[in-house]
A and B are shown apart, each in its own frame.
Chain A
Amino acid sequence: NAGVTQTPKFQVLKTGQSMTLQCAQDMNHNSMYWYRQDPGMGLRLIYYSASEGTTDKGEVPNGYNVSRLNKREFSLRLESAAPSQTSVYFCASSEGYRASYSPLHFGNGTRLTVT
């Protein structure tokens, strides 16, 4: 039972390069999320997808795009990486959209460094 799988685990980019972070869940969850984690900032929501076919902005969406490819997969794209995007990125999923009834299940993260 894999849960939420993120690839790659580590990535180093040069400023201006692009890349896509991949996320897949095998729990048949409806909602998926992308968070970034920075020291002293906690977890901040970048984008989320309440259900297949829908996506919406979170707290810090600038510089990112997402695609909900199907119910299982939710990708995060950096079109032109900047040093400010150096962070650890977490994908999460939940059974339902309402946070109070659906705990978040997180992957193990992608550590991204932009030089």
Chain B
Amino acid sequence: QQQVKQSPQSLIVQKGGISIINCAYENTAFDYFPWYQQFPGKGPALLIAIRPDVSEKKEGRFTISFNKSAKQFSLHIMDSQPGDSATYFCAAPKRSNDYKLSFGAGTTVTVRA
């Protein structure tokens, strides 16, 4: 049973468009919400992370929005580029006293030139 539910499974966006990926979590005691990016044939790499004391964090074209009351957080990729084509995973610690991460199922993003 996944504790982090991610959607959509895949999406296609035109170059310059906005990609939006959503994640919903169950444990309200989570205190750290990272996003990992994975290119084909490579391992995932940390892209950006947020803590629940802020509602938004932006790094370049990547923004995390956090909605604590809805227990959801989202990744927005602005001005999407072909180089952003990858699989994106959200994650959260499994339990409040358990420091291991539980990953979402992943979203494959394809940016068409």
* Given contact pairs A100-B93, A103-B34, A41 touches B43 in the complex (Cβ within 8 A): no
Contacts of A40 in B (CB 8 A): 9, 105-106
B60 at the interface (CB under 8 A from A): no
B112 at interface by CB-CB < 8 Å: no
Interface centre among A4, A42, A90 (most CB of B within 10 A): A42
Q: Which residue among B42, B43, B105 has the maximum number of chain A CB atoms within 10 Å of its CB? A: B43
Choose from B2, B51, B100 the contact partner of A42 (Cβ within 8 Å). B2
B44 with A90: CB separation less than 8 A: yes
Surface stretch bound by B, among A64-72, A74-82, A104-112 = A104-112
Q: What's the Cα separation between A101 and B101 when bound, in Å?
A: 12
Chain B residues near A108 (CB, 8 Å)? 41-43
* C-alpha spacing A44/B102, complex, angstroms: 7
Q: Is the CB of A99 within 8 A of B89?
A: no
Cα–Cα, bound, A109→B4 (Å): 23
Q: Give how many B residues have a beta carbon under 8 Å from the other chain's beta carbons.
A: 25
Determine whether the beta carbon of B43 is less than 8 Å from that of A48. no
Chain A residues near B101 (CB-CB < 8 A)? 45, 99, 104
Q: Give per-residue flags for B26-66: 1 if the beta carbon is below 8 A from chain A beta carbons, else 0.
A: 00000110101000011111100101000000000000000
A24 close to chain B: CB less than 8 A: no
Closest to A3 in B: B43
Q: Given the complex, which residues of B lie within 8 Å of A44, measured CB to CB?
A: 103
Mark out the residues of chain A between 7 and 45 whose CB falls within 8 Å of any chain B CB in the assembled complex.
33, 40-45
Distance, CA A2 to CA B50, complexed state (A): 27
Q: Is the CB of A42 within 8 A of B105?
A: yes
B99 and A98 within 8 A (CB)? yes
B positions within 8 Å CB-CB of A: 2, 4, 6, 9, 31-32, 34, 36, 41-46, 49, 51, 89, 93, 99-101, 103-106
